[in-house]
Amino acid sequence: MKGKLITGMSKNREVRIYIAQTTEMVESARKIHDLSPISTSALGRTITAAAMMGMMSKIDKEKLTLQLKGERAIRQIVAVADTHGNVKAYISEPQAENVFNALGKLDVGAAIGQEGQIVVIRDYGMKEPFVGQSSLVSGEIAEDIASYFAVSEQQPSAVSLGVSLSKDAKVNFAGGFIVQILPETSEETLAQLESNLTGLPSLTQFFEEGLDMIQVANQVFAGLGLDELEEYELNYRCDCSRDKMETALMSLGMKELMDIVNEDGQAELVCHFCNTSYHFDKSELMVLIQDLARPLS
């Protein structure tokens, strides 16, 4: 379930790259959510982007939520990432019907749609979270995220995301990169970067040719040099727990909990992100109700 993130800077310190390999993480999401190929592609791209965006923050307790709301078959995708490389994700249509483009490739843009929103929530665990949003531009996810960075965070970026599947629909490769243009980047650097990106094969093509992440990063930064490399571990990992489910049940309030006890005599809570189910029988629910009834000391 592990993945890898490499970060680096150009030698002149004018552009930064985040490059991630998330193959096992996306394969694990595919199994957990029983995803169709197009849902695997869409969720895989989102997981990869969220993993990189989560690691951009220097604030230790921040949680980043990346949400895509489309109007076509895939209505919603949510990925939550922290600053330690842990990502969990959810898709409203795990079995979305496959759509193909003219080249016979899975058409994620058509499954998400061009109308909709991308929402990014940065929660620092205190006061109000930061919420940024922008409109979807293509539903292809990478372009939508690049547009989000430009519109909502005034951060010019190039984003590339790729998921390739084997014949039996397992994840062969998943990964992506985000290049950030830092303030006061020179025209020469921009021109070089643009020419590198224009001639760049897709990430899935790189994978098929057997290139590793550093080699890809070197191609993206050709003529600029790659410096200050750092490597981090990524994981597809859910942080749900019985304690959190108890808190969720208690937040329903005494009356609602009594109704559950009287009507169903039990409660079954399923985590959207990892499909773990938590069962509470009548006596366990009664304990929660007693806790609620206890006056605060």
In the bound complex, what is the minimum distance in angstroms from residue 90's beta carbon to Zn ion?
A: 10
User: Which among 86, 104, 71, 100 is positioned nearest to 28, based on CA atoms?
Assistant: 86
- Torsion of the alpha carbons at 153, 71, 18 and 275, rounded to the nearest 10: 120
In the bound complex, what is the minimum distance in angstroms from residue 105's beta carbon to Zn ion?
A: 32
**What is the rounded distance in angstroms from the CA atom of residue 296 to the CA atom of residue 107?**
55
If the CB atoms of residues 19 and 25 are measured against Zn ion, the closer one turns out to be: 25
If the CB atoms of residues 173 and 273 are measured against Zn ion, the closer one turns out to be: 273
Per CB under 5 A, which region of 27-35, 109-117, 174-182, 236-244 contacts Zn ion?
236-244
State the number of binding residues for Zn ion (CB under 5 A). 5
Judged by CB under 5 A, the chain residues 249 through 268 that form the site for Zn ion are: none
Apex 53 CA angle, 180 and 100, nearest 5: 90
From residue 90, alpha-carbon distances to 34, 35, 130, 136, 223 in Å are 11, 11, 21, 19, 39
- Name every residue whose Cβ is closer than 8 Å to that of residue 10 and which is 6 or more positions away in sequence: 16, 189, 221, 224, 225, 226, 227
240 binds Zn ion (CB under 5 A): yes
If the CB atoms of residues 26 and 106 are measured against Zn ion, the closer one turns out to be: 26
238 binds Zn ion (CB under 5 A): yes
Per CB under 5 A, which region of 16-24, 47-55, 93-101, 270-278 contacts Zn ion?
270-278
In the bound complex, what is the minimum distance in angstroms from residue 273's beta carbon to Zn ion?
A: 5
In the bound complex, what is the minimum distance in angstroms from residue 170's beta carbon to Zn ion?
A: 22
Contact with Zn ion (CB under 5 A) among 96, 142, 271, 285: 271
- What secondary structure does DSSP assign to 33-62, as a single string? HT--HHHHHHHHHHHHHHHHHHHT---TT-
274 binds Zn ion (CB under 5 A): yes
Encoded amino acid at 40, one letter: T
Which residues of this chain interact with Zn ion, rule CB under 5 A?
238, 240, 271, 273-274
